A and B are shown apart, each in its own frame.
Chain A
């Protein structure tokens, strides 16, 4: 089974503990891109430990642009943040790049950026309660037709809320497993 996640220490990519503006954001974007391109991981946790302040433009041009670039293919989430004002700036940045972004604090998450559409919310909530899920499991738990469950899960992947990987099912056949981005 492929490794699911890498952790990137965002502060290591910055010149100082504060991030300002588009140019600095673009510079970090290049570094992030280089790390991601050299990794085979499906998901990346970006640790904001020791990052002190960010405006909205800096994360917009760095983290959120990267998340948009890989939306549907690979997932990114943030950890080690608690400052609500910093989260506001990250939220504004994510909204501008039209991406969702999870902020995880142990097993609790906060979703910033683009809100999921009403029609897939229940499926997303179920998927986020488990480390991975299949269409069949969603179909059973939410009493949806299998192709409907599959379509909603795929939509959640396309829109950046989940990632997926095709793996060998217990039956021996291939099946998509949908992972929360954590």
Chain B
């Protein structure tokens, strides 16, 4: 048993950057490691998507009994403050060691709801029998309140509602776990973009689907993970039957209308959809699938919308 030690980048850190850095670890698996140490260097700026994924990953590891530490080298300035603001520490497993120590009162607790450009992390409890039926509406309205241009609002409205609705529903329906999932978004005015991110620590879409492939989709019995992911996004698949499973397909279609990127992280692979010159679903897009070296549980999805397109 050994340690996994990761130092993140000294720059803006998106989920793509986070995964790239995690993917450099090949010599030891999560199962084999006894402790996990992640360091955010000075000038390292976690973005909302990498922050939310890291939250899920660290919670998973802690739940497995690993000794987990996250070190913010810049101290309470910089990205530590942002993590406090979005509620990272509010949902971080109490056994995770943080350097500096977690704030007694977080920025999320103080300022919650005070900035429409930030959606503080909302936990989604898949085991709850009562879910907030108005959650996708609330999230969509909050996100739209950041825009004054009516045309922009109208164009964002349905895609964002679809994204929130379908992906939160997936956590309830398919994650098959006691662990909470998370959703958050951040408007980046200088960057001219919005990131919406949903993360759960369940079994992952493919592991949820595979036991039912023989029953519902026998023609895909021998498909690889990569092939199944592509079919999931182009045709739609569901463990609940062939007449279900259109959520991801519609999310992808709406994402591409915006020339947005869609990043989906599963335990063993990452599917990344970017606008390009080739066509998928009639929109210019290219999908790539890469294997992951660390098999964190769950399904982690980020939609990155550039606002001027």
Q: Are A57 and B246 in contact (CB under 8 A)?
A: yes
Residue in B137, B159, B165, B253 whose CB lies within 8 Å of A57 = B165
Instruction: State which residues 131-167 of B face A: CB under 8 Å.
Output: 133-134, 136-137, 140, 155, 157-159, 161-162, 165-166
Q: Are A92 and B161 in contact (CB under 8 A)?
A: no
Q: Are A55 and B136 in contact (CB under 8 A)?
A: yes
The total of Cβ contacts below 8 Å across the A-B interface reads 81
**Count, chain A residues at interface, CB 8 A:** 26
Convert A65-97 into 0s and 1s, putting 1 for each residue whose CB lies closer than 8 angstroms to a CB of B: 100100000000000000101101100110111
Which residue of A24, A56, A88, A96 has the most chain B CB atoms within 10 A of its CB atom? A56
Beta-carbon nearest neighbor of A21 in chain B: B169
State A20–B249 Cα separation when bound (angstroms).
16
| A15 within 8 A of partner (CB) | yes
Which B residues are in CB contact (< 8 Å) with A85? 155, 157-159, 162, 254, 257
Q: Are B250 and A89 in contact (CB under 8 A)?
A: yes
| B117 within 8 A of partner (CB) | no
Q: Are A16 and B137 in contact (CB under 8 A)?
A: yes
Which residue of B161, B236, B245, B246 has the most chain A CB atoms within 10 A of its CB atom? B246
State A60–B134 Cα separation when bound (angstroms).
19
| A18 within 8 A of partner (CB) | yes
| A98 within 8 A of partner (CB) | yes
Q: Are A83 and B158 in contact (CB under 8 A)?
A: yes
State A139–B284 Cα separation when bound (angstroms).
43
**A contact face: mostly helix, strand, loop, or mixed:** helix
State A60–B247 Cα separation when bound (angstroms).
10
Beta-carbon nearest neighbor of A68 in chain B: B243
Beta-carbon nearest neighbor of B244 in chain A: A96
Q: Are A57 and B166 in contact (CB under 8 A)?
A: yes
Smallest CB separation, B211 vs chain A (Å):
20
Q: Are B246 and A60 in contact (CB under 8 A)?
A: yes
| A53 within 8 A of partner (CB) | yes
Q: Are A56 and B247 in contact (CB under 8 A)?
A: yes
Smallest CB separation, A130 vs chain B (Å):
31
| A22 within 8 A of partner (CB) | yes
Beta-carbon nearest neighbor of B138 in chain A: A18
Q: Are A55 and B243 in contact (CB under 8 A)?
A: no
Q: Are A20 and B253 in contact (CB under 8 A)?
A: no
Given A15-B133, A85-B254, A96 contacting B165 (CB threshold 8 A): no
Beta-carbon nearest neighbor of B242 in chain A: A96
State A53–B236 Cα separation when bound (angstroms).
21
Q: Are B246 and A18 in contact (CB under 8 A)?
A: no
Q: Are B137 and A18 in contact (CB under 8 A)?
A: yes
Which A residues are in CB contact (< 8 Å) with B178? none
| B173 within 8 A of partner (CB) | yes
Given A16-B137, A21-B165, A22-B173, A89 contacting B158 (CB threshold 8 A): yes
Smallest CB separation, A132 vs chain B (Å):
31
State A96–B232 Cα separation when bound (angstroms).
13
Which B residues are in CB contact (< 8 Å) with A89? 158, 162, 250
Q: Are B254 and A57 in contact (CB under 8 A)?
A: no
12 chain-A/chain-B pairs, Cβ below 8 angstroms: A18-B137, A18-B140, A18-B161, A20-B165, A22-B244, A53-B140, A55-B136, A55-B162, A56-B250, A57-B166, A60-B244, A98-B243
What 7 A-B pairs are tightest by C-beta distance, nearest first? A85-B158, A55-B165, A92-B246, A53-B161, A56-B250, A21-B169, A56-B246
